[in-house]
Structure 1
Amino acid sequence: MADEDADEADEPAVELGEGESVEGVPLAQVSSRLTYGIEKSTVRRREGDTEIRTPDGPTPLSDVLDSVEETYFDRRQAFEEAVRAVVDTGPVPTE
């Protein structure tokens, strides 16, 4: 029985597709690296060069922040909502 458990551990939990990789990082990954409350200028300084995944393809966070009216994010959810209001939601292109 122990041998069966060892065999299962060798296989990946999720099969990965063989298509093109998705460019950019998820917004949640960027927002998890920040500490809230945070000013928009601080986000731009720390993460502005990071390309996030959007339905239009990878986009630098600094470009998205140009269209965000808020200047201060008191919570992670407020930051993510402001960014999603600009980039919208939808499928991310893989090719």
Structure 2
Amino acid sequence: MADEEEESGPLVELGEGESVEGAPLARVTSRLHYGIERSEVVRRVGNVEIRTPDGPRTIEDALAESDETYFPKKEALEATLRDVVGRGPVSTSDRAPDRDRDGGPDRDGGQ
């Protein structure tokens, strides 16, 4: 029965749009061991670009805007980074969020 499930293909179809630049935050933070100092985070993964609502951004640049110097748990590092870069959805294209696919105003009256 397990073979039948594997042969049926993926359960989620992937879209055909532009790929999103930057790595998912959880993927990067899962590579580290905690408690960890900010300087060690920067040394190990500071040059990695993560996905943010405003586009990719390096971890080093984001941490430079925070006063935190030590992260006892993965969740603390992720919360600090999200406080800096934002918590909204990651844009998958260059089009404005209030426009529909053809570039015109969206149907609910956006400009």
- Taking structure 1 as the reference length, the TM-score comes to 0.89
1:86 lines up with 2:76 in the alignment: no
Q: Which residue number corresponds to residue 30 of structure 2?
A: 32
Q: Which structure is larger by alpha-carbon Rg, 1 or 2?
A: 2
Shift of 1:11: 1.6
Aligned-pair Cα RMSD in Å:
1.6
Unaligned runs of 5+ in 1: none
Name the CA distance, whole Å, in 2 between partners of 1:66 and 1:9: 48
Residue identity opposite 1:50 in structure 2 = V
Shift of 1:10: 4.6
Encode CA deviations 1:26-68: one digit per residue, 9 max, x unaligned: 1101110000000000000000110000000010111001011
Name the CA distance, whole Å, in 1 between partners of 2:44 and 2:26: 15
Name the CA distance, whole Å, in 2 between partners of 1:47 and 1:10: 38
Q: Which residue number corresponds to residue 18 of structure 2?
A: 20
1:5 lines up with 2:4 in the alignment: yes
Residue identity opposite 2:43 in structure 1 = R
Name the CA distance, whole Å, in 1 between partners of 2:4 and 2:26: 33
From the two aligned structures, give the one with the greater helix fraction: 1
Instruction: Report how many residues are paired.
Output: 92
Identity value in percent: 57
